[in-house]
Chains A and B, each alone.
Chain A
Amino acid sequence: MNTTTKPSGSGAQKMDVIVEAVTPLNDLVTRFDFKRANGEDFPTFSGGAHTVIEMQDGDRVRLNPYSLMSDPVQTASYSISVRRDDEGRGGSLFMHNHVKVGDRMRLSTPVNLFCLDLRAKKHIFVAGGIGITPFLGMIAQLERTQGRWELHYSGRSRALASYAEQLTRQHGSKVHIYFDDQSQTIDIDGLLSGQPLGSHLYVCGPAGMISWVLGRAADSAWPSDSVHSEEFLAPQSGEPFQVRLCQSDKTIEVGAHESLLEAIERAGVAAPYLCRGGACGQCETTVLEYDGEFQHRDHWLEDAEHASGKKIMPCVSRFVGKTLVLDR
């Protein structure tokens, strides 16, 4: 699951891993299984967690977060699914085109910013496309603890709906699949109205789908703290721009297809991060001077902070203009 605004990974702990299997699931999605290079088990994790995978692409290091989709109790290996994004910045293409069995890579310890609310009487999952992956771990976890759940999963077509068949086979009537090419759509209002009190709703998929589901949930008066979502957006490409890093006394160029954070790292300057998706707050950086316009894309800073011109989240936000000086 490439291209997420989603939080994950960690600037801290990394694990050396070996690619154990590469399994194409359909035209777009390939699954990767890893084992640890030191032969130990991986840490356990909770459903919905991710890892940040480090790709050595020539002399460039790419860091992309992906949901862990294996059963959290099976820690001999970790699995992720990567959707090829031909228009993206290249991380998913690198995974698809260059990574093969036996390769050594590095993964971060798991981070969860999309976790189950364990108070829920019932968990309702709504997935679109590759947004299915975090739910696979959640479902495995709930199956072990006898939790109540149901899944509504829409994919473009039978061929492209990864894991749909397997889920149906294993869990029968808890799983509802919808194919776009057969004009099947989720009856969201029916779904939202027929649920027991204390149910929680989780949505993961394209931005349009998330805002549609969240909007319907709000209109049907679902309490906002029983609705959870995770969005899939990558740091966006944009015009190149120049930045002065004051503490390190460097001026750097941010390329069209890299994020400000990546450019800072490329210059050899250590910068904090965790999610690389505008959600965790770790990369918050003070702006010392600017002449131009910010393109803020994070979910972290308040509107007033965006307007103030004093802060930027370099993992997802960009800048257009003459001068930008950062306290880094």
Chain B
Amino acid sequence: MSIQFNKETFRDDYSFHNSERAIKRFPFPFHEDSYMYAVNMEQHQGGPKDSVYEMRFDVDEHYVAEMQDRAQVLADDPLRCQSLPHMTLAGWDLLELIMVSKSEDYPEFFELQRDGLYWRWINKPLGIDDSFTFLDESTLPYGPMEYICRQTQGDFCVLDQRDEMLWMDAGMVTTQADWSLDFDIGMNFFEWHAPVPLAHEMGIFKRALKFLLNIQQGTPARRLNWTMTVNPLLDTSPENYHKWGIQKTSLTPENIGGKQFLRVELQTFFRLPRSNALVFPIRCYLIAFEDIVSVPKWGRRLHRVIRDLPVELATYKGFIDNRPMMLDYLSEYDDGLPTSPGVWPELDTEPSLQAV
């Protein structure tokens, strides 16, 4: 498969856009007409052909533009990338995992040549060709985690595992949904999840942690999370809230279809072999409301989910004020017909939109 990389921006003029292919393979997160937090984890061992679940690290049309945006965020705020001293080995683990996965999954774009500890890495879309010594930091232009994360879509948390607990001891976080690595660094699983409503009481984090502690080499897992973003912004960090928070008030009934985005995170979990750390890549996918409703099943379902979402979740996810306007828009695409179970678009079998 060949990918045409988009020329687009996630700031200023917001020229970000999804192709027809990107819309069809969008990781729509709702498998039924309602949503509540759950321990929604499954194995990450591939998925349907051309879906975002097929490869270990999905590379899509936004790759090059996302990497340019990331470089900009890092230049403005170096604290988006941090690694406590004991996490260097985990950084090498991550570099190896990504280089091996990408070169096997996308040989037309990435090449890894290995001769013992002497490695050569070729990244064609970004024009990189570097030779270095594995486990020798002085041979790379950045630390191993920073080096590889500058070339991989999605945020990365690298968790140290100690005393039956996970600790956020390293990461590169530039495309986050309103949380801060600089604030969370060194925290444990329960501490960094403290702001999340309802899920603690439901026992979700206790069970999720048990599951994560037991993830083993060779059996990665994944789950989806989602929120809402006005304008296709990757960097919705607390550090920059003053810049993007205000944009939420720019939504109008006329512009909402193109300006309101559903933001979905494909979260995966891999055990790292040398360090026994866990890496948590958080890959962000954005889609405009007007593109979602081009899939009749998704339009019907999104309306119902947003309508019935508990107030606590709509508040935490930051769209409680805009919910009425979203519902006005989405109700136009909900004719009340039943939807089939599962997340797939089902374009061939699902009825097209009837007059509302």
Contacts and interface: CB of A to CB of B under 8 A. Distances in A.
Interface of A: 10, 12-13, 43-46, 48-49, 72, 109-112, 115-119, 141, 144-145, 225, 274, 280-282
Contact of A280 (B84, B214, B274, B276): B214
B187 interface: no
Contacts of B276: 46, 48-49, 112, 115-116
Contact of B218 (A43, A48, A282): A43
Contact of B217 (A111, A141, A281): A111
B19 interface: no
B162 A12 contact: no
Contacts of B7: none
A109 B89 contact: no
Contacts of A274: 214, 216
A226 to B, nearest CB: 10
Nearest to A225: B163
A118 B214 contact: no
Closest 3 CB pairs of A and B: A118-B86, A115-B276, A109-B218
A282 B161 CA distance: 18
A109 B215 CA distance: 12
B217 A43 contact: yes
A13 B162 contact: no
B89 A12 contact: no
Given A118-B160, A282-B214, 7 more contacts: A10-B216, A13-B216, A44-B274, A45-B217, A118-B86, A119-B85, A281-B210
A7 B210 CA distance: 15
Contact of B162 (A117, A280, A282): A117
B214 A145 contact: no
B273 interface: yes
A43 B217 CA distance: 8
A119 B210 CA distance: 23
A118 B89 contact: yes
Contact of A109 (B84, B135, B210, B216): B216
Contacts of B217: 13, 43, 45, 109-111
Interface-centre pick from A46, A49, A141 (highest chain B CB count, 10 A): A46
Contacts of B89: 118, 145
Contacts of A144: 135
B273 A12 contact: no
A307 B119 CA distance: 56
B217 to A, nearest CB: 5
A128 B87 CA distance: 30
Interface residues of B, number: 20
10 contacts: A12-B218, A45-B274, A46-B275, A49-B276, A72-B273, A115-B161, A115-B276, A118-B87, A118-B160, A141-B274
B273 A45 contact: yes
A12 B86 contact: no
Chain A binding surface SS class? loop
B210 A13 contact: no
A12 B220 CA distance: 11
B82 to A, nearest CB: 15
Interface in B53-90: 84-87, 89
Contact of B216 (A48, A111, A141): A111
B219 interface: yes
A308 B273 CA distance: 38
B274 A72 contact: yes
A115 B90 CA distance: 13
Contacts of A225: 162-163
B115 to A, nearest CB: 14
User: Of residues B84, B161, B216, which shows the largest number of chain A Cβ atoms within 10 Å of its Cβ?
Assistant: B216
A91 B272 CA distance: 30
A44 B93 CA distance: 10
Interface string B152-185: 0000000011110000000000000000000000
B214 A281 contact: yes
A44 B326 CA distance: 50
Contacts of B85: 119
B274 A46 contact: yes
Nearest to A110: B217
A117 B168 CA distance: 15
Contact of A119 (B86, B135, B216, B274): B86
B226 to A, nearest CB: 28
Contacts of B161: 115
B219 A13 contact: yes
A10 B273 contact: no
Given A118-B89, A225-B163, A10 B274 contact: no
A282 B162 CA distance: 19
Interface string B244-277: 0000000000000000000000000000011110
B181 to A, nearest CB: 19
B272 to A, nearest CB: 8
A228 to B, nearest CB: 9
B187 to A, nearest CB: 15
Nearest to A200: B162
Q: Which of B161, B210, B218 has the most CB of A within 10 A?
A: B218
Interface in B271-310: 273-276
A116 B219 CA distance: 22
Contacts of B84: 119
Contacts of B210: 281
Nearest to A12: B219
Interface in B182-217: 210, 214, 216-217
A118 B161 CA distance: 10
A118 B87 CA distance: 8
Contacts of B273: 43-46, 72, 110
A118 B275 contact: yes
Nearest to A112: B276
Nearest to B210: A281
A286 to B, nearest CB: 15
A145 B86 CA distance: 11
A281 B84 CA distance: 30
Contacts of A117: 86, 162
A115 B273 CA distance: 11
A12 B216 contact: yes
Contacts of B275: 46, 118
Nearest to B162: A117
A227 to B, nearest CB: 10
